[in-house]
Amino acid sequence: MPLGKVLYESGDTLRYVYFPTDSIVSLLYVMENGSSAEISVVGYDGMIGVALFMGGNSTTSRGIVQSAGFGYRLLGQRMKDEFNRHGELLYLLLRYSQALITQMAQTAVCNRHHSIDQQLCRWLLLSLDRLKDNHLVMTQELIANMLGVRREGVTEAASRLHKEGVIDYSRGHITVTNRSKLEQLSCECYEVVKAETDRLLSFSSS
């Protein structure tokens, strides 16, 4: 799953579902003028293509690989057949859908009420939780598209985080050097999403 690969566009009929392993996929809402904003991120904790088992077969978002890596692809019909057996997978996917809805709702609130600095901190933390290390490959232009803000705003916010010793940034490579400080600078939106995801998707859930 290479960086920037589009898994589906808005309105496409979904033929497959995807299970990222060490990659991250962003779900973006794209406006008529081409501008976009991220509504959620999906990593090893989730799947791409919930519209298939929810009966819609298509979605208004775009699925694009935000962080390169690997994942599994499964025919949508195979997923629907298993979902309709009403076994453990059904309940797991329903819990995941609730966690995803929470992330989408919190992202909308965050984008409306919190500063670009706070949004960037939230975005970095959500991405880190879905990676195996503290290193991301992502240009400021792509981050701006994800957050739905001007590139200059991301540049200024990233510069402030760098000056505070939170991140190192060079040519599209971001390394988080002080996660605890990053969590302090983030708004409450990150913790709300993390707590709900942990609650719903804990392996001990029944």
Q: For residues 122-141, give the mean pLDDT.
A: 86
Angle at 90 between CA 85 and CA 95, to 5 degrees: 175
Q: Where does 6-201 sit in CATH, by number?
A: 1.10.10.10
Alpha helices (runs of H) in the chain, residue ranges in sequence order: 50-53, 76-83, 88-113, 116-128, 140-147, 151-163, 179-185, 188-201
The model's pTM = 0.84
Average pLDDT, the chain: 88
pLDDT per residue over 157-203, tens digit each? 888 999 999 999 887 788 999 999 999 999 999 999 999 999 998 85
pLDDT per residue over 120-130, tens digit each? 999 999 999 98
pLDDT per residue over 70-122, tens digit each? 999 999 999 999 988 888 899 999 999 999 999 999 998 888 899 989 999 99
Locate the domains of the chain by residue range: 6-201
Q: What is the pLDDT, as a whole number, of residue 206?
A: 39
Q: For residues 59-69, give the mean pLDDT.
A: 90
